[in-house]
Amino acid sequence: MRSSVKKSFFVILLITAFFFIGLMIFKKDPPPNVVFIIIDTLRADHTNMGNDKSGETPALKKLFKNNSAYFGASYSNAPWTLPSISSMITSKFPSEIGVVKRNSKIDEKFITLAEVLKENGYKTHGVITHIFLKKKYGLGQGFDTYLEKIDSSDNNLFSITSPVVTSEAIKIIEESRGKPFFMFLHYFDPHYRYVDHENKSSYSGPFLPDRNESEKAEIIKKNLFSQNDLDYFNECYRSEIRFTDMYIERVIEKLKQQHLYENTIIVIVSDHGEEFGERGTLGHGQSLFNEQTKIPFILKLPEDFERNANIRPNFSNIDISPTILDVAGIEIPDSFRGTSILAEKGPETIFMEVNEKKYDTLYNQCAIVHKGWKLIRDFENNKFELYDLSGDKPEKNNQFDSNKKMFFSMYKILKRYIRMIEDNKHISQKTKLTAEEQKKLETLGYIGN
């Protein structure tokens, strides 16, 4: 009898042991959280990522200096906010989703990154600071919470957004319980108008905060700014980047304090760059040169993610969402145009486009980057520009006339993309701008019809 009880006890103990061993073997790791941060108007050459030591993002460099992060430069598919970020979250080119004008919106038929993550059990949160990201533009699809932190006061020209975005992000992190979360954060401060946060500048020209705004707009419109003005813009722009970098650091530190950092995917990018007189103008939205389309890219992977050291050299906005889903182990929708940058194979060509009116001038262009070369097609002026990016990074030596062999090779590829866009072009859905929104956009440099 006693021997029978011992035998039964041993069997139960053995079964229990096998049960727990089985649980350990087949237990799935919790899905990684996703933090997707966009820093508005941040040029790739103004960061400390990679080998560049002259930038203004020391906090990000320090936080991501270990081998769990990839640093690099990406391309924006459009040189201004609305089409650029719309491409990021839908993984489609702007023309494919009909988001090419200031009153365009994302059609509900297009799947967004937030919708995919929500369907896969994620709690989704957005904190945005730009009119172009408001729900009325379709950017809020798939979010459980979507906070529009846009300053509507009379002082909105020089409003400061980084503290507000960081404060909301910290609340989301602190309140995250159980479910994996997706947090989409948009930092606006490096966008024009600029704030000199350190008050170090000795500038006394027409672009000081207390000077007449109409006069400033006229100077920019007619390109009458001086080198002194440009130096001031650069000084303030760098101050804005340092300020934003400091506040993003607090978000990352909060993830670490909550023991969430290790199992979180972090993506930090910009939507476009900014021109500071390189082509004789200021701002963005008027060209496809690198100062407006080359953007920083940071990807921090979960600690236990098996990394492939080979990342393809060229990628763009449409590849960001597929990359996030790939790392999270979620199936990438067939509707997504882009591919994960961690995939063994991917497209060798980057496509970008702009069709925007600014200061009564229509900028209607498209371009490709392929194997170190860039070809730009200007439809309005019926001209081409061809640049060797490996030997001509500032894109000053147009080889259209001198290198016809390379031009025809590149043009053959560009025509395929133009045909693809024409075949898949979506009729734009429209949203209505209020007078207040239109006025605010004009003060931010979006002037024109």
**Domain 29-344 is found in CATH 3.40.720.10:** yes
Q: What is the pLDDT of residues 245-276, one digit of tens each?
A: 999 999 999 999 999 999 999 999 999 999 99
pLDDT of residue 345: 80
Q: What mean pLDDT comes out for the span 227-253? A: 94
Q: What is the pLDDT of residue 304?
A: 80
Asked if residue 20 has pLDDT above 60, the reply is no
Which pLDDT belongs to residue 26? 46
What pLDDT is recorded for position 30?
A: 87
Of 69, 61, 58, residue with least CA distance to 266: 69
Q: Is the pLDDT of residue 153 over 60?
A: no
The radius of gyration of the chain's CA atoms, rounded to the nearest angstrom, is 24
**27 pLDDT above the threshold of 80:** no
Give the pLDDT band of residue 214 (cuts 50, 70, 90): confident
Helix axes 81-90, 320-328, angle to 10 degrees: 30
pTM, entire model: 0.90
Most confident region among 137-146, 207-216, 350-359 by mean pLDDT: 137-146
pLDDT, position 22: 45
pLDDT of residue 69: 74
Tell me: the pLDDT tens digits for 85-96?
Answer: 999 999 999 999
Task: Please report the pLDDT score of residue 211 as a whole number.
Answer: 87
- The sign of the torsion formed by the CA atoms of 208, 214, 218, 221 equals positive
Number of C-beta neighbours around residue 423 at 10 A: 8
Q: Is residue 23 predicted with pLDDT exceeding 50?
A: no
Contact 125, 143 (CB under 8 A): yes
Between 141 and 13, residue with greater pLDDT? 141
What is the band of 441 on the pLDDT scale with cuts at 50, 70, 90?
A: confident
Question: 57 pLDDT band (50/70/90 cuts)?
Answer: confident
Q: What is the DSSP string of 358-409?
A: ETTEEEEEEEEEETTEEEEEETTTTEEEEEETTT-TT-----TTT-HHHHHH
Mean pLDDT value across the chain: 87
Angle at 275 between CA 274 and CA 281, to 5 degrees: 140
Q: How confident is the model at residue 193 (pLDDT cuts 50, 70, 90)?
A: confident
Report pLDDT for 59.
81
pLDDT at position 12, please? 57
Q: What is the DSSP string of 249-299?
A: HHHHHHHHHTT-GGGEEEEEEES---EESTTS-EESSS--SHHHHEEEEEE
pLDDT, position 291: 95
Q: How many Cβ atoms sit within 10 Å of the Cβ of residue 215?
A: 11
232, 208, 209: which is closest to 154 by C-alpha? 209
For the segment 367-414, what is each residue's pLDDT rounded down to a tens digit? 999 999 999 999 999 999 999 999 999 999 999 999 999 999 999 999
Q: pLDDT at position 220, please?
A: 87
| Between 13 and 108, residue with greater pLDDT | 108
Domain ranges of the chain: 29-344
Residue 346 pLDDT class (50, 70, 90 cuts) = confident
Q: Which position has the higher pLDDT, 434 or 199?
A: 199
Contact 136, 430 (CB under 8 A): no
Q: Which residue has the higher pLDDT, 84 or 69?
A: 84
pLDDT tens digit sequence for 312-339? 778 999 999 999 999 999 999 999 999 9
Strand partners, 74: 295
Give the whole-number percent of the chain exceeding pLDDT 70: 88
